[in-house]
Amino acid sequence: MTHSIWVYLLVMSVVTLAIRILPLTLIRRQIKSRFLRSFLFYVPYITLAVMTFPDIIHATQTPASGFLALVVGAALAWAGASLFKVSALCCVVVFLAERFLVG
């Protein structure tokens, strides 16, 4: 059973445009619901976290070193460290963890 790639491209285009156009045409006034506004505010952050979290764990030789770097990075970010400090220290944590855990 052979399918044309043009059908797939057409369906993908329709779905992509529908996702972008429908909210603009259906919602004409300001959203006043506090719950909906807070939900829409956090959607980009949640999407980024869902896409990045598995790669943080699986990008290292052992998942334990990735998880350890994730915990250290989250703690440093929570404490207000800059992005450069967080990323540099996470790299150091992964290096040390893989040096002592793997061997």
Residue 93 has pLDDT above 90, yes or no: yes
* Predicted local confidence at residue 83, as pLDDT: 92
pTM: 0.60
* Predicted local confidence at residue 86, as pLDDT: 95
Q: What is the pLDDT of residues 7-38, one digit of tens each?
A: 999 999 999 998 888 887 887 888 888 998 88
Overall domain count for the chain: 1
Range of the domain at 85: 5-101
Helix (H) or strand (E) holding 13: helix 5-26
Give me the long-range contacts of 85-94 (CB less than 8 A, separation at least 24): 93/65, 93/68, 93/69, 94/60, 94/65, 94/66, 94/68, 94/69
Share of the chain above pLDDT 90, in %: 48
Mean pLDDT of 64-82: 94
- Using pLDDT thresholds of 50, 70 and 90, give the confidence band for residue 67: very high
Residue 1 has pLDDT above 70, yes or no: no
- Collapse the DSSP code of 88 into the 3-class scheme (helix H, G, I; strand E, B; otherwise coil) and give the result: helix
Alpha carbon distance 67, 31 (integer Å):
38
